[in-house]
């Protein structure tokens, strides 16, 4: 009895469907690969190592040309102003400080500035230092400056692991939650269920498609960061991939919960933003999460994206091994396992 033809594997075919849909959709490729690269280029350039902001000082009539010359030699920009426009320039921040000439020859020069502005306080310090030195002040204690531009301690080194974590999070959310709801809206979910397809095969294939994409996404960003910004991975690539898989799995589980009941793509987009936006802000992707008040630190520390950023940074910057990422992995599991069970429990197949 000859079998009419060989039966393909459902898991392979379902996974191929996902991968083909992704690979043949240029938009999806852009969001997975192009967007994080553009974001890191933009942020990398914005926070590139550069000299201090130029200090601009307004000089009211009566400030001597000698004094102005001294400041200009000290790399201070001096802007001659009349009394009428001076106050407006100061308020607008176009000058950091106003130099007001002495009322009488014996009186002091006045620095007029707003002490609540950081750059104004800096301007006062620099102007004062230059003027005092020109007047003969010396520094009794010898000091030496050492500027840090080493790879590993720059802003871009801090940014790339965070960006990687954020990108894997949104990849999981879109690649699972949105995909499921989109299938539900198109009635494809219903159609597949009308065939003798096993539900777990479908779930498994969605995860498998992510599994194939994650190493590609990680490799792409890590390689890009290395070539463009010389960002190094201090720790092991295996630990980095483990973090990537664990984080993605945790967010995929959250995505299943988010998608479990949603009947249309608008609802699921809203829910995804509800989940992701607070973490974009609070979890320290772009700036250290420790900037937030101490009172909410325990909450921030427990967020899954915080755990993922911390784990990624521990591996990439501090060179941590598996021992150093146990805590982040535990937090990710703490979110992922219950989310997955609840998601399956309430999943709306029809």
The site for other proteins (CB under 8 A) is made up of: 1, 3-5, 7-10, 12-14, 16-17, 20-21, 24-25, 186-188, 190-197, 350
User: Minimum CB separation from other proteins for residue 229, in Å?
Assistant: 34
Two structure tokens written together for 53:
């902001």
Q: How far is the CB of 177 from other proteins (least distance, A)?
A: 18
> Is the Cβ of residue 7 or residue 345 nearer to other proteins in the bound state?
7
183 vs 316 by CB, closer to other proteins: 183
Token pair of 282, please? 């609070």
CB atoms under 10 Å from CB of 54, counted, come to 11
- Residue (22 or 90) nearer to other proteins, CB: 22
Q: Is the CB of 234 or the CB of 344 nearer to other proteins?
A: 344
Rounded to a whole number of angstroms, the minimum distance from the CB of residue 275 to other proteins is 21
Round to whole Å and give the CA distance between 179 and 255: 10
Q: How many CA atoms lie within 13 A of 207 on its CB side?
A: 18
Contact 155, 229 (CB under 8 A): no
Phi/psi-derived region of residue 133, left when phi > 0, alpha when psi is between -120 and 50, beta in every other case: alpha
Minimum Å gap between C-beta 196 and other proteins is 4
CA distances from 92 to 8, 77, 87 (A): 70, 17, 9
Nearest-approach distance from CB 2 to other proteins, in angstroms: 10
> Minimal distance in Å, beta carbon 199 to other proteins?
11
Nearest CA among 286, 274, 247, 59 for reference residue 156: 286
CB 178 within 8 A of CB 275: no
Least distance between other proteins and beta carbon 201 (Å):
9
How far apart are CB 200 and other proteins at their closest, in Å? 13
Residue 188 or 302 having the CB closest to other proteins: 188
Q: What are the residues whose beta carbons fall under 8 Å from the beta carbon of 167, sequence distance 6 or more?
A: 32, 35, 36, 217, 221
Q: Which residue stretches of 74-148 are H helix?
A: 83-92, 118-134
Can you tell me whether residue 277 is helix, strand or coil?
A: helix
**In the structure encoding, which two tokens stand for residue 152, read together?**
């590993």
Q: What are phi and psi of 104, to 5 degrees?
A: -135, 160
Pick the closer one to other proteins by CB: 84 or 194: 194
User: Please, which residue, 13 or 137, has the CB nearer to other proteins?
Assistant: 13
Instruction: Give the integer Cα–Cα distance in Å for 307 and 247.
Output: 8
Nearer to other proteins, 17 or 60 (CB): 17
């Amino acid at each position: 009895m000859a079998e009419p033809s060989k039966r393909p594997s459902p898991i392979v075919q379902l996974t191929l469907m996902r991968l083909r849909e992704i690979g043949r959709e240029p938009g999806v490729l852009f969001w997975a690969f192009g967007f994080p690269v553009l974001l890191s280029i933009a942020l990398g350039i914005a926070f590139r190592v550069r000299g201090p902001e130029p200090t601009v000082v307004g000089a009211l009539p009566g400030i001597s040309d000698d004094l102005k010359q001294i400041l200009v030699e000290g790399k201070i920009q001096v802007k001659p102003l009349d009394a009428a426009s001076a106050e407006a320039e100061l308020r607008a921040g176009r000058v950091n400080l106003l130099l007001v000439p002495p009322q009488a020859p014996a009186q002091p020069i006045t620095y007029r500035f707003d002490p609540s502005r950081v750059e104004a306080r800096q301007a006062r310090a620099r102007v004062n230092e230059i003027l005092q030195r020109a007047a003969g002040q010396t520094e009794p204690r010898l000091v030496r400056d050492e500027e840090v531009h080493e790879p590993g301690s720059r802003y871009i080194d801090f940014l790339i692991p965070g960006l990687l974590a954020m990108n894997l999070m949104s990849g999981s959310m879109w690649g699972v939650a949105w995909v499921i709801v989109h299938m539900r809206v198109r009635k494809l979910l219903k159609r597949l269920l009308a065939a003798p397809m096993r539900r777990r095969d479908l779930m498994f294939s969605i995860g498998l498609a992510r599994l194939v994409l994650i190493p590609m996404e990680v490799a792409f960003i890590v390689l890009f960061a290395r070539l463009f910004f010389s960002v190094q991975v201090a720790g092991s690539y295996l630990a980095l991939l483990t973090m990537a898989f664990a984080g993605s799995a945790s967010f995929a589980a959250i995505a299943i919960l988010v998608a479990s009941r949603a009947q249309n793509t608008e609802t699921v987009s809203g829910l995804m933003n509800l989940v992701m936006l607070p973490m974009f802000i609070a979890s320290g992707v772009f700036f250290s999460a420790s900037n937030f008040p101490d009172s909410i630190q325990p909450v921030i520390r427990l967020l899954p994206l915080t755990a993922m950023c911390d784990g990624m940074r521990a591996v990439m910057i501090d060179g941590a091994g598996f021992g150093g990422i146990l805590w982040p992995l535990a937090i990710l599991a703490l979110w992922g396992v219950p989310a997955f069970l609840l998601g399956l429990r309430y999943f709306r197949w029809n």
